[in-house]
Structure 1
């Protein structure tokens, strides 16, 4: 559930929004023809993500950086490139995901920046723990810190289109206004 949404909208509404975001993410992921891994925070749930469409895994790590590194590291154990997307960016498209994979042909890392200073997507060819190290997650400095880390370890970065992710009830309402005109 989205805790920052729950703070203003309540738990039930936050859960409803979270489920809608998951549904949108599922549709986008299914439009992409590559292998799809689905990571759960905690135990793997019975949900509407078909086992035939997604390899389901539990996240491993103490913070978001460790969880992302471990997910990418696992995927790169059997793929040449891996792209990680969150479930809180409903405007991500199949084309953006394809651009990320294609960008890895010429760059070490691809990042889809979000307007709040974080990112909705990160991809790479080699799992690099240093990219995720010493970052204060859920702050407006996440993208900047990640780019600084990439520079320190001499990794080239391609930035994708900046999008808005959904962190608050206002973000969700703004998304609905733009994408569900009456």
Structure 2
């Protein structure tokens, strides 16, 4: 294999937890039970995996904490997450993907079921002319990170799940002197209010259907 060149399709990596009650989307409780929160997490993961499956990719990877379930479609390479914290697990997912196939890597989580194949394709396209692409999240974090060639220093020790996580990442990118591009801001599903807002944007999704089945008031 040879390193990536301009026009090479990126590989798409989804980093996720298996949707087991009590271990995922804990901030959705007590508005929802642990089982309901897990059902929402599973539907968000299914929508995300479907979007990735419909986007152009050199390879599709699920970096998973836990065990695969019937929610996993065909066409994914499953690798175990490794690392002591989220920043380390993100860096490891980039490194493992690059080791398996040295082409640009676009990584997303399972918290933005509104992601589209077009957004993912745009992330890959932007890596033709930029070293890094970032999808900022409304909570101050980021929902997507793409790297033409993974640099572990971008993520090593990065404080995660804070309102300034995205800003700190951008500071590191600027300090590295690399060209970066931004995608549109999306909302991570962390709270019940987030769930309602996101479902309203994607009324035909599995996520919206699951929220409606739980009796949540989804705005028109």
TM-score by length of 2: 0.77
Runs of at least 4 residues of structure 1 off by over 4 A?
none
| 1:5 and 1:14 in contact (8 A); partners too | yes
Q: CA separation in 2, counterparts of 1:37 and 1:151?
A: 28
SS in 2 for 1:36: strand
CA distance in 2, matches of 1:48, 1:121: 22
Consecutive unaligned residues of structure 2, counting only runs of 5 or more, are: 1-23, 204-218
Task: State the Cα RMSD in Å.
Answer: 1.5
Match of 1:68 among 90, 93, 98: 90
1:96-152, Cα deviation, whole Å (9 max, x unpaired): 111111111111100011111111110101111111133221111111000111122
Whether the 8 Å CA contact 1:76–1:125 is kept in 2: the answer is no
How does the TM-score come out when normalised to structure 1? 0.92
Which residue number in structure 1 is paired with residue 153 of structure 2? 130
Q: Deviations over 1:28-54 (max 9, x none)?
A: 011023210001113x3233313x410
1:73–1:126: 8 Å Cα contact kept in structure 2? no
Contact persistence 1:32–1:94 (CA under 8 A): yes
Deviation at 1:167, TM superposition (A): 0.9
Match of 1:99 among 122, 129, 138: 122
Structure 1: runs of 5 or more not aligned: none
Task: Name the structure 2 match of 1:54.
Answer: 76
Change in CA separation of 1:106 and 1:178 when aligned onto 2, cut-off 3 Å: closer
The answer to whether the 8 A contact 1:100-1:110 is kept is yes
> Aligned with 1:22: secondary structure?
helix
Matched positions, count: 180
